[in-house]
Each structure stands twice: as C-alpha cells, then as structure tokens.
Amino acid sequence: MLKVCVGHGVRAYALGISLLFAVSAFVPSAALGDGVAYHFTNLFSGTAPASLNQPWIDAAFHDFSPGVVRLTVSNLNLIRRESLGELYLNLNTNLSPSHLRFSLAGGSGGFDRPKISTGLNKFKADGDGKYDIRFSFNQGGGQDHRFTAGEYLVCDISGIAALTASDFAFLSAPAGGAGPFYAAAHIQRIANSTLSGWIAPGGVSVAPEPSVASLATLGFGIFVHLKRRRKKSQ
C-alpha cells in the first residue's frame, strides 16, 4: 500500500506542515525539463465529475534523467468521494510497452498502490480506443484506500534506454466510439457515489518545468487535504 500515515489531532497537522515544506524540495527544479501534460476536461461517456472547475485531473510527464521519465498524476478538481479508478496511457508506436518499468516515487494520502499493466493496444477505455498502459486503482475497502480528491501520485518510468516524455504523446489506436485520445481516465463514485464517467484530455500540452512555487502550492494542498480528513474523523 502507498501510505502517508494520517493520525488524529496534532499528528495530522504536523504531517501537513512537514509536507508543505518538504514538497517544495521533493523534485529539484534542475532535474526536470519541459514535458508533456494532459488536462482532463472532456467527458466522453457516463457522468461528468461534479465540480465545474477543470481540469478534473492532470497527468504530466517530464524527462527526469536519461531514459527515465517522471509521471505525476494529480486529482486537482475531484470532490467529495470521487476517485480515479483507471488511467489509460499510450506509448510511441515504435517502442514496446512490455519493456517499461515503473517505480512509485511518492504520493499523498493513504491510497493503495495501483496495479500497472502494459501491452500493445491491449486496454480499451469504455470502447473508445486501445491503450498501451493501464493504472488500476483500488476501488474497494474504505475511503482511505482509494485514490481520491486532492491526492497525487509520482511514478518514474524506465526500461527503454532513450525514453523521453514525448514518447507518451501518442493517440490510442482506433476502436470506435468517441476516440482516439491521448489518454483516458475512469472516475468512480460520482454524485450519489453510484455513478461513474470516462474523461479524456482535449489534446496534448507542454508541461513546464516544475517551479518551487508550484510545488509549495501542492504542499499546501496536501495540508488542506489532511486537515479536511481530520475533521471527518472527529
């Protein structure tokens, strides 16, 4: 399980404040260059997440070191009990997804580690395109086990010598429906917690090099998230 332990009372506040300062130094700004970003703003099947603020989630790829790409997934504007169930990604058609290796480098909250599967055009996102990579997040158990609102995940991807962030800027193979898309995501527990929706980015964007200011903002978001969980536990 990918755990950042959340205690009650003072412990939760102490952890939040520690993260606020630690996250700004989590990734040295010199280590990451501009990359590829997906802002998930388009509903293509099912029910849209409740928030009017978009993007609902973000996925950004940066070149971390030669042959290593760092992926950051952020549930920016999911709300209440909404959670990310599956994330679908594509790889350069000249490369083999079976060669990829994944190493979880960090995250917030107490969600379980995702199951990561690969295969050339192996995964369908509700019938809309065929994808090479699938992250499957736990949807059972309690709220703390799921990848929910305000949480983020950092994963390093390697296994191919010349791998770069731009190798993930490819459309899914056509498979009918509304696709193809550069990426897709399945959001669970929408509205009364019984509905779900499939969302995709409008296109591919440049992901600027993370700044200390943006990482500090992320740290503050984690602090607010922990504070909210503390209130729920009282």
Q: What is the chain's mean pLDDT, rounded? A: 80
90 phi, psi to nearest 5 deg: -120, 160
pLDDT tens-digit readout, 21-48 = 334 334 443 345 679 999 999 999 999 9
8 A C-beta contact, residue 75 and residue 84: yes
Q: In the block, which residue shows the tokens 């290593």?
A: 68
Instruction: Please compute the mean of the pLDDT values over residues 148-155 and round it to a whole number.
Output: 94
**Once rounded to an integer, what is the mean pLDDT over residues 130-138?**
96
When the candidates are 3.30.70, 1.10.30, 2.60.40, 1.10.3470, the CATH number that belongs to 28-209 is 2.60.40
What is the rounded CA–CA span in Å between residue 105 and residue 122? Answer: 26
Rounded mean pLDDT, 188-214: 80
Q: What is the pTM of this model?
A: 0.78
Domain ranges of the chain: 1-27+210-234, 28-209
Average pLDDT over residues 174-181: 82
Torsion of CA 63, 100, 116, 12, to 10 degrees: -40
